[in-house]
Amino acid sequence: MKFSEVIGQEEAQARLVQLVHENRVPHALMLCGPQGCGKLALALAFASYVLGERDANGQSILASESAILNAEAMLRNWQHPDLHFTYPVIRPTGTSSDHKMISDDFGKEWRTLLNDTVYFSIDQWLECMKATTQQAQIFEAESDNLTQKLSLKSSQGGYKICLIWLPERMNQVCANKLLKLLEEPPSQTLFLMVCEEPDRLLETILSRVQRIDIPRIEDVAIEQALIQQRGIEANNAHYIARIANGSWLRALQTLSADNENKQFLDTFKLLMRLAYMRNIRSLKKWTDSVAGFGREKQRRMLTYFSRMIRESFMYNFQQPELVYMMQEEEDFTKNFARFVNEANVIEIEELLATARRDIGQNANAKIVFFDLALHLIVLLMRK
């Protein structure tokens, strides 16, 4: 994969290439940024470049033409023997407790998804693994598997690259074992991490990596990509790019006719109306309904709710350039926004953040959502 296939992020691309040209590639590099900014795409392009794929100018770090062609052929389907992937996986229902789950158990699904797109979310990955209510994580056995793989010599004589997607999803034992690998890295090994929530990682791991923060994609880059890659008319591309707010994933979701956000909007509208009406009985039914979602979907829903609260608060300022909503969302916000104000917006945001954290920690969903609904009854009355 070439850097030219990455949407925007020219500054980050130049910085990564410079590390190679100046022979200053660290043994551990972490790309951090919000979902949809292209961190994984950058990491894959960088890994491909380090392993010998030619850049947009036809240049490669390999000297032999045959070696370059060989590297590009292996990278085309992400089958290069010196590129190792680590990513969160689930334990499928019915899997023996004796089996230690590792990334390779879903290697076929992972490469199929990469060949389809290098811009995807954890939710899309869960769908590829056919997850139901399971939460994906990187299990203890993964670090043992990595240690074994990286102890071998490089197949092609260059770097061995371990690309870790979402390292914050490592369990505690795996994280501690990875720390030992980072403290004493095998020869010619590059750990390339792609992280969305670095605060969830051990401080000792963060101290042993060189961190590069990847910003949101500029609206102009998203707009151009929509026009060139998706054939979207210029005016629509401009509108979608603005709504996407720096996320290519959100731009693609906006294009989808049956995207999940429509369901979340209906769920949000119902919650707010029932809370305003103080309809406890119906709120209990609402709670039972959303408690049936998988935990990952519940967390996505709460993130969406949080965005709608922020957008409703900004709507009150009557500054259209500050509001990032689809038309259907704005239609609801016109009447709802007045209930989100300086007296309650911070507490509502904290309430949603707490609920999202509790769901992520496997709290009882019915209790979490009913508590959320009851608190909203009080908060929406504040002026």
Tokens, residue 203: 């401080």
Euclidean distance between CA atoms 55 and 46, whole angstroms = 10
Tell me the pLDDT of the chain averaged across its residues: 90
DSSP states of 16-53 as a string? HHHHHHTT---SEEEEE--TTSSHHHHHHHHHHHHTT-
**Phi and psi torsions of 28, nearest 5°:** -145, 125
Q: Given this model, what pLDDT does residue 120 score? A: 92
User: Per-residue pLDDT averaged across 5-17, rounded?
Assistant: 93
Does residue 325 surpass a pLDDT of 80?
no
pLDDT above 90 covers a percentage of the chain that reads: 66
Q: Given this model, what pLDDT does residue 142 score? A: 93
Helices 172-183 and 140-150 meet at what angle, rounded to 10?
20
- Mean pLDDT is highest, among 34-43, 55-64, 133-142, 155-164, for 34-43
Domain with CATH 3.40.50.300 in the chain: 3-215
So what's the architecture of 3-215 in CATH?
A: 3-Layer(aba) Sandwich (3.40)
User: Per-residue pLDDT averaged across 366-375, rounded?
Assistant: 96
Domain with CATH 1.20.272.10 in the chain: 257-381
Does residue 216 surpass a pLDDT of 90?
yes
Q: Given this model, what pLDDT does residue 259 score? A: 65
Report the C-alpha dihedral over residues 259, 265, 267, 270, rounded to 10 degrees: -150
User: Per-residue pLDDT averaged across 54-72, rounded?
Assistant: 85
Burial class of residue 184 (count of CB atoms within 10 Å of its CB; 0-12, 13-18, 19+) = exposed
CATH topology of domain 257-381: Zinc Finger, Delta Prime; domain 3 (1.20.272)
pLDDT bucket at 321, cuts 50 / 70 / 90: low
Q: Which tens digits make up the pLDDT trace of 333-353?
A: 999 999 999 999 999 999 999
